Amino acid sequence: MALFTINNVIISGISACVPKNEELNSDYNLLTENEKNLLIKTTGIERRRIAQNNTTTSDLCYTSAVALLKKLNWDSSEIDLIIFVSQSPDYYLPATSILLQDRLKLPKTAMAFDINLGCSGYVYGLSVISSLMATAKIKKALLLSGDVSSFSINKKDKSAYPLFGDAGTATALSYKEGCEPIHYNLQSDGGGYEAIIITDGGVRNPINKDSFEETEIEKGITRSKINLKLEGMDIFNFSLREVAPNINNLLSFANKEINSFDFFVMHQANKLMNESIRKKLKIDAEKVPYSLDKYGNTSSASIPLTIVSELKEKLKGEKKNLIISGFGVGLSWASALICTENLICTQVLEYE
């Protein structure tokens, strides 16, 4: 089991950046007025930010990182490790983290690599970066995470298009002896790989001329094999089944009570789904912030983006205990128990 504790690593600051361009679900005319209202009510998503002009995830993460380093008063030369978590990298290869090493002027003595995960990516990313830092006593590191999901989703797919937004975030971590530990529980189930998938473009189904052909799956759902396919019901079932037990097992492992936590930040996918999970865990609504309404599902950016947009003021002082949980594409899911102290957050930045 991937249930473990990491000591001596603390999150020093978080930053988030979204495209300035906004789309409203009330303008999504593939749906009737009635359907729009039901969508907004059920998913909780009113508007989303959509990247334009070939803006990439790395652009959004870069902007976040620059602002964060400035606010923390860190020099790029101090960073020894950078990890980029995304499923919309700049290139198939080389890894985007290395491009960012250069762009951010990190030293050549820094370690840099990518992690290919989505919804679970932030928690997985934290587990990897904090483990490395603890083992190697790395003093300062950056975890950049996010996606420009809009890149892969067909506008004519009503089952996916109105759900996703674009964002990129940066999290700065420090090695600090004696700080509160972080506990993790990470899981996987490849049996559910078809729940969220882009079928063509990798090595399994190489790009060919049929890849671009759009098919009407049913009324209101048209996509090609290079577009994201989302089986909403399967993901819904998976989340209702797996997330709460994962968190309960983590709490048992860490010997903690759920009531001792101040906030529960979930990956922002669907309000009905998240509320169902919240109720299963018997957590009060005021402990569960949402950024879904403003930004939609922002993949591995959703947890840090929600912290920046909803908890910035609440986390800037004394110690606070948080449960964070990401779940989805893979299928992959993970939770962590983190403690913040004097957490420094920027505003949610906008990129044009």
Partner 1 sequence: MMTLEEFVKNVELEIDDLPPGTLTAEINYRDLETWSSMYALIIIAYVDSTFSVMLTGEDLRNCNTVKDLYNLINSRL
The helices-and-strands tally (H runs, E runs) of the chain is 8, 17
Q: Least CB distance from residue 193 to partner 1, whole Å? A: 16
Query: Closest CB to partner 1 among 196 and 307?
Result: 196
Q: How far is the CB of 117 from partner 1 (least distance, A)?
A: 24
Nearer to partner 1, 124 or 333 (CB): 333
| Bridge pairing between strands 9-19 and 344-351 | parallel
Q: How far is the CB of 272 from partner 1 (least distance, A)?
A: 5
| Separation of alpha carbons 149 and 156, rounded Å | 15
Determine how β-strand 332-340 pairs with β-strand 320-328: antiparallel
Residue 6 phi, psi (nearest 5): -115, 130
**In whole angstroms, how close is the CB of 12 to partner 1 at the nearest point?**
38
Q: Which is nearer to partner 1, 140 or 229 (CB)?
A: 229
Extract the tokens encoding 159: 């089952």
Nearest residue (CB) to partner 1, 74 versus 236: 236
Looking at residue 34, its amino acid is N
Tokens read off for 55: 């803006």
In the complex with partner 1, which residue's Cβ is closer, 272 or 285? Answer: 272
Q: What is the spatial distance between Cα 208 and Cα 221, in angstroms, rounded to a whole number?
A: 22
Q: Is the dihedral of CA 152, 155, 160, 164 positive or negative?
A: positive
Residues in touch with partner 1 (CB under 8 A):
34-35, 38-39, 41-42, 159, 231-234, 236-237, 240-241, 270, 272-273, 275-276, 279-280
Tell me whether residue 234 or residue 350 sits nearer to partner 1 (CB atom): 234
User: Given the structure tokens 């960073």, which residue do they identify?
Assistant: 79
Sign of CA dihedral 255, 134, 302, 270: negative
Name the minimum Å distance from CB 32 to partner 1: 9
Minimum distance from residue 36 beta carbon to partner 1 (Å): 11
